[in-house]
């Protein structure tokens, strides 16, 4: 699973790419736990994240775990962007934003998301 979490350099900035694409629900749970472990070790307000949900399987258990992780990661994350959210039910997406008190702008491509992340 660690190969699904990597730092990429984009316009001289580091972005944590979290590749949930085509993950099953059990794989999603493992990956969310790993992401949270890595992010919790980082300084406050220090990380840009890009999550790709293309084709991911998100059930209620996964959605609950994502919601918890997003809230706990909030102090460490400077900005987040998402792509491939067609597989994320709208009710889950809204719940993620409300519970974590964070915004997760959605983009069509990873490049568009990274452009937005590094602006600011």
CATH of the domain at 91: 3.30.750.24
pLDDT in tens, 46-87: 999 999 999 999 999 999 999 999 999 999 999 999 999 998
More confident residue, 3 or 23: 23
Domain that holds residue 32: 2-118
Distances (CA, A) of 61 to 5, 43, 46, 68, 98: 21, 29, 29, 11, 17
- Please say if the pLDDT value at position 13 is more than 70: yes
End-to-end Cα spacing for the chain: 31
Report, as an integer, the average pLDDT of 13-38.
97
Q: For the chain, what is the domain count?
A: 1
pLDDT in tens, 77-118: 999 999 999 989 999 999 999 999 999 999 999 999 999 999
Q: Which residues contact 102 (CB under 8 A, 6 or more apart)?
A: 70, 74, 77, 80, 96
Q: What is the pLDDT of residue 31?
A: 97
Q: What is the pLDDT of residue 1?
A: 63
């Amino acid at each position: 699973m660690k190969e699904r979490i990597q730092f990429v350099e984009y316009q001289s900035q580091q972005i944590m790419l979290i590749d949930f694409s085509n993950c099953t629900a059990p794989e999603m749970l493992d990956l969310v736990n790993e992401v949270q472990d890595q992010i919790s070790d980082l300084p406050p307000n220090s990380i840009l994240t890009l999550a790709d949900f293309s084709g991911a399987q998100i059930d209620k258990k996964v959605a609950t775990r994502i919601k918890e992780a997003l809230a706990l990661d909030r102090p460490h994350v400077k900005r987040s962007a998402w792509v491939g959210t067609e597989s994320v039910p709208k009710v889950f997406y809204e719940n993620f934003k409300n519970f974590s008190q964070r915004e997760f702008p959605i983009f069509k491509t990873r490049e568009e998301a990274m452009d937005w992340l590094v602006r600011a």
